[in-house]
Amino acid sequence: MKRIWMMVLRNIFMVPYGWIRLCYRAAHVDKYTEENMYAFLKWIDLRANRGGNVHIDVYGRENIPGRDGFMLFPNHQGLYDVLAIIEACPRPFSVVAKKEVGKIPFLKQVFACMKAFLIDRDDVRQAMQVIVDVANEVKKGRNYLIFAEGTRSKNGNRVGTFKGGSFKSATKAQCPIVPVALIDSFRPFDTNSIKPVTVQVHFMEAIAYEEYKDMKTTAIAALVQERIQKVIDAYTS
């Protein structure tokens, strides 16, 4: 975690002020609009990235749907993934993450600000309720991100198996699915290096409900996984 320390040290005069504001907002989320909160998180994220020698290359912003109420499905490389997408994505979104991640300082506060859902994979009833709640939120016009692999792949730029159950909220909400290909997103936090690193975020063409409505969730998962891996292969070969 050398890079995290570098992020802190290079922003040493901003850190106390930013941390206090982040904690306050995390404890008072209903005082702010989603747009205001997202702009604040971007402000923190940009400074952390600059301090940590992390550059984000963004591709395909034009593929983000024109209307809110969509879901992002990226591959999952590391703890840095959400921070990469926050800088890359111009539209506010929230997250569905495993409850263990919600205990990590900083990510805990960020997820609170995003009104994220933390899922307990050992509690089937709670997990099913999260699926329903997310679908309802998407129908109301919120955007959500889910890591369909369920956990970090730990294989660099090789995508793990996408799980069909991760797409149940999308099918219930009948919303556009946006595959997101992350390249080298494991390098900032999951390697013991502080060398400059570039992370690529590729927003791929959205899959409309009409395109997948007759598919099983396992087939949707396989389709999204295949498209993401194809983009990663094209940019890393």
Per-residue pLDDT tens over the stretch 88-100? 999 999 999 888 8
Residue 237 pLDDT greater than 80, yes or no: no
Stretch 66-89: mean pLDDT: 95
Of the candidates 12, 44, 33, the residue with the CA atom closest to the CA atom of residue 109: 44
Q: Are 74 and 145 in contact (CB under 8 A)?
A: yes
Stretch 102-112: mean pLDDT: 87
Stretch 161-172: mean pLDDT: 96
Residue 164 pLDDT greater than 90, yes or no: yes
Query: Which range (82-86, 122-126, 151-155) has the least confidence?
Result: 151-155
pLDDT in tens, 40-57: 999 999 999 999 999 999
Stretch 14-41: mean pLDDT: 95
Query: Which range (41-50, 119-128, 133-142) has the least confidence?
Result: 119-128
Quote the CA–CA distance of 123 and 77 in Å, as a whole number: 25
Residue 157 pLDDT greater than 80, yes or no: yes
Stretch 6-13: mean pLDDT: 88
pLDDT band of 205, cuts 50, 70, 90: very high
Stretch 140-160: mean pLDDT: 91
Quote the CA–CA distance of 161 and 150 in Å, as a whole number: 9
194 by Cβ neighbours in 10 Å (0-12 / 13-18 / 19+) ranks as: middle
Query: Which range (1-15, 69-83, 180-194, 203-217) has the least confidence?
Result: 1-15
pLDDT for 154 equals: 80
For 223, residues 6+ apart whose C-beta sits below 8 A from its C-beta are 207, 212, 215
